[in-house]
Amino acid sequence: VSSDSEDAVYGEQVSTITGYGSGNGLIERFGGEVEPQATLEVELESERTVKECYVQEGDEVQEGDRLFAYDTQEAEDNLAQAQIDIERAQADIEVAQETITSLERQQANASADDQLAYTTEILTLQNEIKTNDYNIQTKELEMQQLQETIDSAVVTAEMGGVIQSISDPNSSSASLDSGSSNAYITILDT
């Protein structure tokens, strides 16, 4: 191809690029740094403790592999307690409804002076029923959140790679001034 053509290709000898042909005996070396395409830092959620770690430094993981699991004992205990609280509130509602039915029968046969006392007691019990209904709804939401916490106890890798480091989960967080990472596990993309 002529040197005027758009398809012209120019090349240099390897000895010229590396310095072998210079005659001075020096060999040029090209410095650089090898970096991963991506780094994933997995941080611990606050107020949760690690129950078990499934990987070690240097292990190769694939996306979806288990890294570690949080301890869920406290959440499981709170879930059981919330269920007991709901059952207790439902029992209180049943008792209150039976009492209201009884009071309404008694109110029908009561004197005009006693009617007000029965009405007040019935309204008080109706208020307790509404309060217990609200408490049941609150506990059901709490149970949902606790179940989600239990279900998300196992943390998996979001990308494949090699485990570069695993820090001590019981150590205090690194200072922001030191530039250190607060990551529990660091994964380097391969």
Give SS3 for 164: strand
- Give me 175's structure tokens: 């200072």
With a cut of 70, list the residues of the chain below it in pLDDT.
1-4, 8-10, 13-30, 171-181
- Give me 103's structure tokens: 């009071």
Question: pLDDT tens-digit profile of 124-152?
Answer: 999 999 999 999 999 999 999 999 999 99
Question: pLDDT tens-digit profile of 82-93?
Answer: 999 999 999 999
- Give me 149's structure tokens: 């916490």
